[in-house]
Structure 1
Amino acid sequence: MNHCLLEVEVLEAPQVRYTQDNQTPVAEMAVQIEGLRPDDPPGQLKVVGWGNLAQDLQNRVQVGQRFVLEGRLRMNTVTRQDGVKEKRAEFTLARLHPLSPGTGGAPSSAAEPARSPAPLPP
């Protein structure tokens, strides 16, 4: 089973597009993940939300907000402009939990109150 929890900061506001076949909304945004060690640089990741979640992302998520994301992580092979193929991680969002108050009632795909995640055991 592929289920991930990530603590992130939003780098780019969500942008919504629509599929050609049935006009399903799809939102994409860039987030930043802190490195594992203090000297590790932060990583960036593309996050994708579908359907009603996509519209909620566009309406409620802003640059600089911090969230815990729940969803699935996968690797895509993309071709850069110079023709080189590379692998990039993409996160498909299932739920979104704000980390601090004042995030504007960030969306969640479940009908449960947003809450901070429990700390992981050492």
Structure 2
Amino acid sequence: MNSCILMAQVVQAPELRFTQDNQLPVAQMLVEFAGSRDNDPPGQLKVVGWGNLATEIQESYQVGDRLIIQGYLRMNTIDRPEGFKEKRAELTASRIYKADGNFAPMGGTARPSNVVSMESYSRPMGSPPTENYNRPASSPPMESYNRPVSSPAAPPSSEPAPIPNEDLDDIPF
């Protein structure tokens, strides 16, 4: 299985369809992303979402929206009327984020109820960040960390110290 994360802009409005048994919603939209080089034209890719994500895609996104899409790539082979086969890439989305600074994930990953937003936290002015910190009883006092560590004295040597090999590159050129 592969994994892909793509930042793109919606260029064709999402359309919602259902599987043949009318049970599972499927949404598809066309997105555009920047070329890999400055002079490359932008690339286009079809994005597909299934189930609840398909409904969210159709309801939440429109042409011009910038998105971060997480999913996997697959190749589709299409028979062309000219008599040859064409391969096209398709991104099957598992999560979609709007790229407007508010990265609330879409796609069934709700925030757990025990998570508190840090935006609601405010520390009193002038108080240090560790004001309410209690050191565990088992840790040694802080003074013991500031003591100099004694090391065995090395006997004086008349030989020069070896020069370390500065060439850290494994590939010789």
TM > 0.5: yes
Matching residue of 2:84: 84
Structure with more contact order per residue of length (Cα contacts < 8 Å, sep ≥ 6): 1
Alignment of 1:1-20 (within 5 A): 1-20=1-20
Gaps spanning 5+ residues in structure 2: where? 113-173
Greater shift, 12-21 or 77-86, is seen at 77-86
Q: For residues 46-71 of structure 1, give each alpha carbon's deviation from its aligned partner in whole angstroms, at most 9, with x where no partner exists.
A: 00000011011111101000011000
1:9–1:67 CA contact under 8 A, matched in 2:
yes
TM (norm. structure 1) is 0.83
Find the aligned partners of 1:57 and 1:106 in 2 and give their Cα distance: 12
Alignment of 1:33-52 (within 5 A): 33-52=33-52
Q: Aligned to 2:78, what secondary structure does the other structure show?
A: strand
1:96–1:109 CA contact under 8 A, matched in 2:
no
Matching residue of 1:62: 62
Find the aligned partners of 1:11 and 1:31 in 2 and give their Cα distance: 5
Displacement after TM superposition at 1:94 (Å): 0.2
Alignment of 1:93-108 (within 5 A): 93-101=93-101, 107-108=106-107
Root mean square deviation, CA, Å: 2.1
Structure 1 residues 71 and 112 mapped into 2: Cα distance closer, same or farther (>3 Å)? farther
TM (norm. structure 2) is 0.60
Matching residue of 2:110: 111
Displacement after TM superposition at 1:109 (Å): 3.0
The one-letter amino acid paired with 1:70 is Q
Q: Share of identical aligned residues, percent?
A: 52
Displacement after TM superposition at 1:106 (Å): 7.4
- Residues paired across the two proteins, number: 112
Displacement after TM superposition at 1:98 (Å): 1.1
Q: For residues 6-46 of structure 1, give each alpha carbon's deviation from its aligned partner in whole angstroms, at most 9, with x where no partner exists.
A: 01000011101110135210001000011011100001000
Find the aligned partners of 2:29 and 2:87 in 1 and give their Cα distance: 18
Structure possessing the higher radius of gyration over alpha carbons: 2
Gaps spanning 5+ residues in structure 1: where? 114-122
1:60–1:107 CA contact under 8 A, matched in 2:
no
Matching residue of 2:154: none
Matching residue of 2:24: 24
